[in-house]
Structure 1
């Protein structure tokens, strides 16, 4: 019984024979259009160039066009386990945190400013929300934030 199965397996099946016949017929044939250069496209009018940018009044300035950013920080600011306080008046809340030229500055409600080395721009970016306005001058931004 196994001898007969092995003998049949040595001979090609009907499907294999049909494939071999089809392969022999197609040998040497080239598909239509193969190897022929494509015709040059006709010189149609160029599509109209559309400006896909926002209008200037809706564009946000890029980081290199902005001198700095600031955000309010009303609660006490705790850094490395210590509460930040103004070196001149001792205020410890209602800060404006300014980020400019890779430096972080704290501004108290009385207008005293001090550089804060325990905060970096990455910290500022993590804690600041999206900008709600841009201002031409530092004083305009202070008025906008209520200082």
Structure 2
């Protein structure tokens, strides 16, 4: 069956340019040109509001005893956990594959420094004891 001339072909290219979603919040930290930053120092982060389990054991913050609302960080193949109280630790029980399963997706925001990133996401201690 041939499509009429006035109907566009369905978009099958997942990387094709699409207009921005008008309902989405503005991205105040757009990604720069990938050639402008050092890939060895790049860290991927994802916010995880629920409990995390490493090998079936719930993860708790050693500083404030929080059990949820984490920033999970992947840097140089190592997974780190950061709490809202700003306590951060290497979590050897979580793998890169498990990080990817958390749904981090492709990078969509960029900050010039790690300190700016954690501050803008509320993991610098300012929101200690506050859970969303």
Note whether the superposition's TM-score is higher than 0.5: yes
1:137 and 2:113 equivalent?
A: yes
Consecutive unaligned residues in structure 2, runs of 5 or more: 1-30, 124-132
Q: Measure, in 2, the Cα distance between the counterparts of 1:79 and 1:143.
A: 26
Q: 1:107 corresponds to which residue?
A: 82
CA distance in 2, matches of 1:63, 1:75: 31
> 1:106 and 1:58, CA in 2 relative to 1: closer, same or farther beyond 3 A?
closer
Q: Does 1:75 align with 2:50?
A: yes
Verify the 8 A CA contact 2:40 2:76 in the aligned structure 1: no
Equivalent residue number for residue 86 of structure 1: 61
1:126 aligns with 2:101: yes
Provide TM-score, normalisation by structure 1. 0.54
Larger Cα-atom Rg: 1
Equivalent pair of 2:82/2:89 in contact (CA under 8 Å): yes
Task: Report the structure, 1 or 2, having the larger helix content.
Answer: 1
The number of aligned residues is: 91
Q: Which runs of 5+ in 1 are unaligned?
A: 1-56
Question: Mapping of 1:1-147 within 5 angstroms?
Answer: 59-60=33-34, 64=39, 66-127=41-102, 128-147=104-123
Task: List per-residue Cα deviations over 1:111-145 (Å, max 9, x = no partner).
Answer: 10111011112221232122221111011111332
- Structure 2 partner of 1:41: none
Between the aligned partners of 2:94 and 2:100, the Cα distance in structure 1 is: 11
